[in-house]
Structure 1
Amino acid sequence: MAEQFDVSAERRKVLEENAKRRTVLRNFFLKQVSDPFRHASGEGGTVFDPALQRYQAMRVTTYDHFKPNPKTAGYGFFLTLLPMVGYIYLLHTSRQAKEKRYRNGEVAYKDRDFKFV
């Protein structure tokens, strides 16, 4: 029977144990969610998940524990400021070159992108 699977016997045993654990946890979660007496106890219909609570608390208090240093300043520079300055420079140089060609008469009026008529 082990020949029909493409995994070793040890790996198959680990996968089966993980599947059993997932099944047990799923059934426990469904039992908690579908309990009709949770509303009577004042807990409501939601299940308290400690991992989700820790994650949400971490996201809320991110800036309380933020410490500026050269690495975070570098992130701010390279991910926000540098792309904006680069894009502004690109727009400025391309528009200046286009305006220079228009003023020197290299581009006919009918071939221009923006016309009054």
Structure 2
Amino acid sequence: MKILIVNDYFTKRRFIKDLLRDNGFTNTFEADDGHTALSMLKEEAYDFVATTWNMPIMNGLEFFKEVRKVPDLKNLPVLIVFEPADKEHMVETTKAGAYVHLVAPFTAGAFGVIG
């Protein structure tokens, strides 16, 4: 499974990458913002995206909506990670059709949602 991790903080990307690796997912790639991630998704096929709600330039919901506008990506599973202060935005992303939400902090067991 090819997974794209999108987060503006290197340490948070590394944390998610390490959790995924510890659960057997080793084919991971990183982007530090939604625009970069969108370009990567248009250039190569990915099986899953893990992003965060709170990013500059393009937040997680905006990124998700842009992904859904691309015909080849409209069914791509997207996980959006929220900080506790951002929980109220979960309703917005659910209405937009986001795959799954996690509230940070979380443990390795949370990645059991990835098939």
TM-score range, shorter chain: under 0.3
Which has more strand, going by share of residues?
A: 2
Structure of higher CA gyration radius = 1
More helix by share: 1
TM-score (norm 1): 0.19
